[in-house]
Amino acid sequence: MELIFLGTSAGVPTRTRNVTAMLLNLQHPTRAGLWLFDCGEGTQHQMLRTAFHPGKLDKIFITHLHGDHLFGLPGLLCSRSMAGNVRPLDIYGPQGIREFVETTLRLSGSWTDYPLTIHEITAGPVVDDGLRKVTAYLLAHPVECYGYRIEEHDKPGALDAAALAAAGVAPGPLFQKLKAGETVALEDGRTLCGTDYLAPAEPGKKLAIFGDTSPCPASLELAHGVDLLVHEATLESAMEEKANSRGHSSTRQAAQLALNAGVGRLVITHLSSRYDEKGSQAVLAECQSLFAQTTLAEDFALVHI
């Protein structure tokens, strides 16, 4: 998987940062996909500056209904339709997302020529396509807001072809059954169990994408043990009380969560527009003083997972 940041500013865009949106490119050899997390104003303009097109989107996940995470959605949906795209699209978000989409389309005399399904979610399982699952966690913000945990299912271990050859099994149809862990009967009457010839399963990658939140109990469970944590760091530690009063986190709180949750890497985003380039680096330094494996998201940054 790879994550492409389309917007990294909190509340309003700046000259160098658009408001929140992230693309998750699912680079699976047989079932690739493109998922969008949040869709702030101007998201489709940001996509024009990448190799990705709205027509390739399979799913859109909205964390909450504040405008800096949502106001780009109607335009993107309409442009996708005007381009003649017929690929189905699913939208997931808090209660109210259906009303928002349907009302904006109706009042603007717009429509979609592709199948559009809107799912209003609650905390718990959201998607499982057989390769990966998405779980929503309710966070602490003035409006209903979720974080999403994306987990690949573990991949079966490699088949020990050398051991099978030594057992007199030639490559062929039986290999597929053994790879699936099945027990097969050989022509000479022997039976072989596939699990005896499989290496340990390869753990799937785990990613946590947070919506806006002040520290809350669900955060630790959402972030626990992920390879990559994407978390807001709206304000510096000196402004922590102000951040929390508005349902946001400080740099220190984001880094402390990464440390407590045992994550592999932390990417901070959703920075207040008060921070210029120098201020942004100071914000990053505050996080790194607690959690060294922290990077600062910039618009169009690409992170491999």
Residues 23 and 79: their CA atoms lie apart, in Å, by 17
Which residues are CB-contacts of 147 (< 8 A; sequence separation ≥ 6)? 63, 136, 137, 139, 208, 209, 210, 211, 213, 218, 219, 222
- Whether 188 has a binding-site annotation, put simply, is no
Residues 34, 37, 42: CA angle, nearest 5 degrees: 100
- Whether 304 has a binding-site annotation, put simply, is no
- Whether 270 has a binding-site annotation, put simply, is yes
| Residue 177 · residue 134 · CB < 8 Å | no
The reply to whether 154 belongs to the active site is: no
- Whether 196 has a binding-site annotation, put simply, is no
- Whether 128 has a binding-site annotation, put simply, is no
Residues 91, 95, 99: CA angle, nearest 5 degrees: 75
Tell me the backbone φ, ψ of residue 82, rounded to 5 degrees. Answer: -65, -20
* Catalytic, out of 38, 58, 68, 154: 68
Residues 126 and 92: their CA atoms lie apart, in Å, by 8
- Whether 153 has a binding-site annotation, put simply, is no
Residues 234 and 272: their CA atoms lie apart, in Å, by 5
Calculate the alpha carbon distances from 20 to 36, 46, 66, 238 in Å.
11, 11, 11, 24
- Whether 248 has a binding-site annotation, put simply, is no
Two tokens, residue 180: 């699936």
- Active centre residues (catalytic): 68
Question: Binding site for Zn(2+), residues?
Answer: 64, 66, 68-69, 141, 212, 270
Question: Binding site, residues?
Answer: 64, 66, 68-69, 141, 212, 270
